[in-house]
A and B are shown apart, each in its own frame.
Chain A
Amino acid sequence: MPSIAQDLEHTNTAQWLCAGRAQQDEWDIRRSCFDAFADVLSPYRTARPDGRWSQSGVNPPGLLKAVALGAHFASSSVFNRWTAKQNGNAIKRWAGSDPRLKPREAFVAEAKIVSFWPYRQGAIAVADVFEMSLAEIAASYMRALGAWACNNPVLAACVPAGPPLCVAEDMAVLAHRRPTRLPMSSTEIAATAAELASLPGILVAAVLDDASLTPLGAFNVIREDMSRLLSDTPEPLAVKVVNILSELADQLLHCREGERVLTRVQAQQLSAEMTGVSALLGKVADQ
């Protein structure tokens, strides 16, 4: 079975980037446009209302025209690369052929993806070397996203403000790997993926709201929800056992002087039974 990191290397966006970069001349043109976009965005860096340093939404007027001007291309050349009609383009736009998605939005989506990609790749490479668990990979991914937003707040704030759109398919990969006792239906996986996909938006919004937020601080904003979504639904029997054991431990820890929670014989019996169950649990845990 491929690792999670390997699955993340084969998403649609990963394949789109692979194919796109193979068209080197055309890719260079795209890079020039993204570089020009960065120049267009730079005057919008930071606002400071109410004593808090935050980044408000950015929506430069005539965006594609300004990009074309900065990259020294004709406006039509830039427009045609990101319009819904992709006939004859060496690199198809990432956003696909849905005509409802305007060229400007398709361009911004790609710019965010290309900018975020090396952060994502750095995190995945480390995850692979250290054979990270699902929870660790998810934390690494989100922290890398936080680092991207911290370093590129204006791009992240560019309307539609938020994370690169490719995070949704990455969240779907993570949702597929959620450990469960019973196989999840496609509807359940989709529901988990959809809930997971809402978290990157919350994380990026937190970074844009506070310029001093670190990637760890940003991840902490969503840590609990992420942990809940990537954990198995507790087995009712396991919950009962944990509750009873907690109660017993609590009584043993906090009993008053002279008070007896269990008789000596009861304690011995329980201890023997728990040793037996412990061996059985060990077998399940090692499976």
Chain B
Amino acid sequence: MTATSPHQAARACPEVVCDEPAAWLHGAAEALHVLSRRGPADRLRAAEHAIDLLIQHAAPADWSHAGLLAQATPSGSTGDRVPASDPAVLRMARTAMSLRCSGDPGVPGVERIRMWAQMADFFAAIVPSAEPLLRRMQATVLYQRMEVGEVSQEVIDGLFNSYKWHRDTYGNEAYLTSLTRTNLAQAYRRRATGTDLTDAEELFREEIETRTRLYGSEHPFALVARNLLARCLLAQAEAADDGKERRALALQAYDEADSVRAVRDLIYGATSANAVLSRRLQAHALLLLGDSDDLNRARARLQYVLAFETARNDNSEWRGSGQTQLLLARVCLALGEHSAALDHARSAQRLLAVDAPAGVSCRKAADLVRQLSSANGPLE
């Protein structure tokens, strides 16, 4: 694919020669990132375009060392190039990586971590350690590790340091401080040992308070924090030994997710990714509430979620549906529908293994498959 460039733009209007290619790359990177809301094929095409722009306009570098290409980079055109250490190049590279990882369903979680880490190392060797975009790349590596279920002390410490650096640099209420604080809270929620869940809840509540004060309770940024709190409450409900406590936490989570869903339905539409995610959290809460009526409602919601997750992924099975399948398996099991539960558990295990084969969810799915297979007879 041939990328449109500042110089091609100049040919369209011979007098307009872009003499600020770094600024041009910034603008192009922002536009390319908008394409991350399109389907996987367009996202991959956008990633290729971003890589082409880097090859053509950044100072010669082997982009395979930055995790962007499998093979050594072919040499680009000569002329004025943007230094590889320029923030515009970091921005474009980050956009390319983000589009590539989200566009290619075949890239497993561990591979994504390797590619992001390679990119962070590539730039760490050529830009100052305090460069904000480098900091964000390094934080992305930690976030990706957390996403596949790796919540070692090293990951937690890294996320804490990232949060602290942003807080000290920009202030406690700054946007990036807010994002990094949320990442740390998510890591606590995922590790879920000792006081992790209450620490996470505290951080999420602090985050909701800050975002609500700065942007309003129904602002998309505040809604994300409220949804994360609902997830944290669900994790607490899962961990609760006492039935009453579990029910109270699940009800709280349901209400929080429901109020977020109502606003998201209005802003983005009922079939949007955000609104669908809120419905999945509601279904999870209904599963934990556990009455047969609740379970039937949970199943209906999860089927709805699964349908829209698939539709959004160009009508193909989406690897991110692993959690939905796992919840469906648990709901079916609770309803006594073992055969359907086994089907969903197998799908969940297969999908979750793509990103995090050693993750908690994948292990749960595998346990469920084992339990249901023995109840249903041998696996075919």
- Report the minimum CB–CB distance from B57 to chain A (whole Å): 10
A128 lies within 8 A of B34 (CB): no
Partner-binding segment picked from A65-73, A138-146, A186-194: A138-146
Q: Give the nearest-CB partner of B18 in chain A.
A: A118
A121 lies within 8 A of B9 (CB): yes
A256 lies within 8 A of B293 (CB): yes
A129 lies within 8 A of B13 (CB): no
Partner-binding segment picked from B100-108, B167-175, B194-202: B167-175
Interface size, A (range): 35 or more
B21 lies within 8 A of A118 (CB): yes
Known contacts: A130-B42, A136-B34, A143-B30. The answer to whether A210 contacts B13 by CB under 8 A is no
B33 lies within 8 A of A216 (CB): yes
Q: Give the nearest-CB partner of A116 in chain B.
A: B23
B221 lies within 8 A of A220 (CB): yes
Known contacts: A51-B171, A123-B27. The answer to whether A21 contacts B177 by CB under 8 A is no
Q: Which residues on A sit within 8 Å (CB–CB) of B6?
A: 118, 121-122, 125
- Report the minimum CB–CB distance from B121 to chain A (whole Å): 23
A257 lies within 8 A of B23 (CB): no
How many B residues touch A, CB cutoff 8 Å? 59
Contacting residues of chain A (38-53) with chain B, CB-CB under 8 angstroms: 48, 50-53
B26 lies within 8 A of A147 (CB): yes
B16 lies within 8 A of A53 (CB): no
Contacting residues of chain B (179-236) with chain A, CB-CB under 8 angstroms: 215, 219-221
What 1/0 flags go to A116-135 for Cβ under 8 Å of B?
A: 01111111111111101000
Partner-binding segment picked from B111-119, B294-302, B337-345: B294-302
Q: Which residues on B sit within 8 Å (CB–CB) of A53?
A: 169-171, 174
A215 to B132, CA, bound (A): 14
Q: Which residues on A sit within 8 Å (CB–CB) of B154?
A: none
Q: Which residues on A sit within 8 Å (CB–CB) of B27?
A: 118-124, 126, 144, 147-148
A221 to B211, CA, bound (A): 12
- Report the minimum CB–CB distance from A225 to chain B (whole Å): 11
Does A283 lie at the interface of the complex (its beta carbon under 8 Å from any beta carbon of B)?
Answer: no
Interface of B: prevailing SS: helix
A151 contact from B5, B23, B35, Cβ within 8 A: B23
Q: Which residues on B sit within 8 Å (CB–CB) of A216?
A: 33
Does B25 lie at the interface of the complex (its beta carbon under 8 Å from any beta carbon of A)?
Answer: yes
Q: Which residues on B sit within 8 Å (CB–CB) of A125?
A: 4-6, 8-9, 24, 28, 31
Contacting residues of chain A (200-221) with chain B, CB-CB under 8 angstroms: 210-217, 220-221
A120 to B27, CA, bound (A): 6
Q: Which residues on A sit within 8 Å (CB–CB) of B46?
A: 130
- Report the minimum CB–CB distance from B222 to chain A (whole Å): 11
Q: Which residues on B sit within 8 Å (CB–CB) of A132?
A: 31, 34
A213 lies within 8 A of B175 (CB): yes
Does A254 lie at the interface of the complex (its beta carbon under 8 Å from any beta carbon of B)?
Answer: yes
B174 lies within 8 A of A212 (CB): yes
A212 contact from B28, B32, B42, B176, Cβ within 8 A: B176
Q: Which residues on B sit within 8 Å (CB–CB) of A210?
A: 170, 174-175
A148 to B22, CA, bound (A): 11
Does A265 lie at the interface of the complex (its beta carbon under 8 Å from any beta carbon of B)?
Answer: no
B31 lies within 8 A of A144 (CB): yes
Known contacts: A123-B31, A144-B27, A211-B174. The answer to whether A21 contacts B4 by CB under 8 A is no
- Report the minimum CB–CB distance from A3 to chain B (whole Å): 13
- Report the minimum CB–CB distance from A24 to chain B (whole Å): 9
Q: Which residues on B sit within 8 Å (CB–CB) of A286?
A: none
B176 lies within 8 A of A9 (CB): no
B175 lies within 8 A of A212 (CB): yes
B30 contact from A14, A19, A144, A212, Cβ within 8 A: A144
Does B267 lie at the interface of the complex (its beta carbon under 8 Å from any beta carbon of A)?
Answer: yes
Q: Which residues on A sit within 8 Å (CB–CB) of B29?
A: 122, 147
A122 lies within 8 A of B220 (CB): no
A246 lies within 8 A of B270 (CB): yes
A126 lies within 8 A of B21 (CB): no
Known contacts: A9-B12, A21-B17. The answer to whether A122 contacts B23 by CB under 8 A is yes
- Report the minimum CB–CB distance from A259 to chain B (whole Å): 10
B26 lies within 8 A of A144 (CB): yes
List 16 extra interface pairs beyond A21-B16, A52-B171, A212-B174, CB under 8 A. Answer: A18-B16, A53-B170, A117-B20, A121-B6, A122-B30, A123-B28, A124-B27, A125-B6, A130-B31, A132-B34, A139-B34, A147-B26, A210-B170, A210-B175, A213-B175, A256-B293
**Which residues in A have some Cβ–Cβ distance to B below 8 Å?**
9, 14, 17-19, 21-22, 48, 50-53, 115, 117-130, 132, 136, 139-140, 143-144, 146-148, 151, 210-217, 220-221, 223-224, 246, 252-254, 256-257
Q: Which 7 A-B pairs have the closest CB atoms?
A: A122-B27, A140-B31, A143-B30, A122-B28, A126-B31, A119-B27, A212-B176
21 A-B residue pairings within 8 Å (CB atoms):
A17-B15, A21-B15, A52-B173, A52-B174, A118-B18, A122-B30, A123-B31, A126-B32, A127-B31, A128-B4, A130-B45, A136-B35, A140-B31, A143-B31, A147-B26, A211-B170, A212-B170, A213-B175, A213-B176, A254-B297, A256-B293
